[in-house]
Amino acid sequence: MTDRRTIRCPRCRQETPWQDNPFRPFCSQKCQLVDLGRWAQEEYKVPGQKLMEPDNLLEFPNDNN
Ligand SMILES: [Zn+2]
């Protein structure tokens, strides 16, 4: 049986399948990393130590205003 449920990525709000999605509840590794990065930055404020740069990962193709 196939689970065809879809979820909406909490970061980019794109619909994404629940099954076979290693990055759920996100649509992709990019969104997952952005969210984890933000969480880590807020949770552990370590001066001078960059885990990642979330701003550089925020390049969504559907951002066409
Ligand atoms: Zn996403």
Please state, in angstroms and rounded to a whole number, the distance separating the CA atoms of residues 4 and 28: 17
Distance from the alpha carbon of residue 50 to the mean position of ligand 1, in angstroms? 22
pLDDT by 10s per residue, the chain, length 65: 677 899 999 999 999 999 989 999 999 999 999 988 887 776 666 566 555 566 655 566 665 56
Q: Break the chain into its structural domains and give their ranges.
A: 6-57
Compute the chain's Rg from CA coordinates. 14
* Separation of CA 61 and ligand 1 centre (Å): 11
What pLDDT score was predicted for residue 36?
84
Statement: 6-57 belongs to CATH 3.30.2350.10: no
pTM: 0.54
Ligand 1 geometric centre to CA of 6 (Å): 13
